[in-house]
Structure 1
């Protein structure tokens, strides 16, 4: 059975949201519907999603602000705005906030489904092209299988260890800002997650301690750097 794509929907209109959720589910999507924009980012952090559908005009916090915060957590998540705001300035702000599409109400539901599928297919092709193997001195790190190969041995990493090491590899010999790593791996930048990341950095150093010419350096006040000679 094919896995259903997971949709994160923020919509305060209960009638419209009920119809929209039912229509998406009929078309084989799993939908998490949030009615209060103030709760949106917290709910987004609690699960994994394939695409976001956001209303713009929400009480307390607008959809553009939610989109920007979501993009800080997951820069690759596609976002569609569904809104009655049709002014050129609103459309431009939507795309500036990270929108993949901006659809004005009323709209044809079949066209929406086609747009969602097209964005997801494009995103999947992009993910298929993403690098999954990194050379770390004499070690090889496979981010897909979360394994470090070195000197005939393998170390299996936890999901967070692998995500953190992949970020370090992507920023090889550059400073990885602490806040960026926290938001992308943990989804927040609080005290306890900061302490947790320090523990994970210690574990990664242990995995790489025998790899010549490789070290993870603490850049005081900034973040970490994977240095490879």
Structure 2
């Protein structure tokens, strides 16, 4: 069965080249030029990977990514953009992106990135972290339910993405032991590339924000080594 690519790009000439090339490579491709129209047929198409430009009419790539992640939290999303600032990179990961390619790019690189995301998706689908995870873990004032990717805070329920849940489970399982940065990257993302490293930074920041209601919980960064997940 062909893998499905949702491709969103408003530049006609580039879009046509990428669309035709991906189809020649054996993918089924849905190409949309208007960000505001994507969600109308998103569920019926059921993509395996999304490739999104950031500057789009009616709904930009960041907002579109957030909308997609609300419906399919584990769906890989690759951003294509001419933006080069680190802030843009971080914003893309915060929105839920899993990879990032700067324009101009080669079609060969895009295909490699797509195949990499598909392989990682298959890995996570067949081999989840902690197959025998407990139903509930108490962390200070919080309760973490790893099987449902759910964190219960004093103020209410926080629904975690799959990678947020996996990251929290790995950190919590180490107790007061150091967990190496490279171990997190290889286990959760499958490689320790620069892009995934920045993605990890975003997710650690998110977890710190989630635990802000309990001053006795701290995710401590040990530069050059990794992290300590401390519950005093």
Total equivalences in the alignment: 142
Superposed CA deviations along residues 173-215 of structure 1, whole A, max 9, x for unmatched, are x99x9xx8xxxxxxxxxxxxxxxxxxxxxxxxxxxxxxxxxxx
- What is residue 82 of structure 1 aligned with on the other side? 80
What is the CA deviation profile of residues 131-180 of structure 1, one whole-angstrom value per residue up to 9, with x for unaligned ones? 9x99xxxxxxxxxxxxxxxxxxxxxxxxxxxxxxxxxx9449x99x9xx8
Structure-2-length-normalised TM-score: 0.55
Out of 92, 95, 98, which is 1:97 matched to?
95
2:53 match:
55
* Aligned residue number for residue 46 of structure 1: 44
Paired residues for 1:22-171 under 5 Å? 22-130=20-128, 170-171=147-148
Residue in 2 that maps onto 1:11: 9
Secondary structure of 1:113's match?
helix
Unaligned runs of 5+ residues in structure 2 are 133-145, 160-232
Deviations 1:81-120 (A, max 9, x none): 0111111111110111111111111011111111111111
CA RMSD of aligned residues (A): 2.7
Moved over 3 A (4+): 169-172
Q: Is the partner of 1:46 in helix, strand or coil? A: helix
Q: What's the TM-score, normalizing by structure 1?
A: 0.56
Q: Structure 1 regions of 5+ residues with no counterpart?
A: 135-168, 181-229
Q: Distance in 1 between matches of 2:82 and 2:100?
A: 10
- The match for 1:155 is none
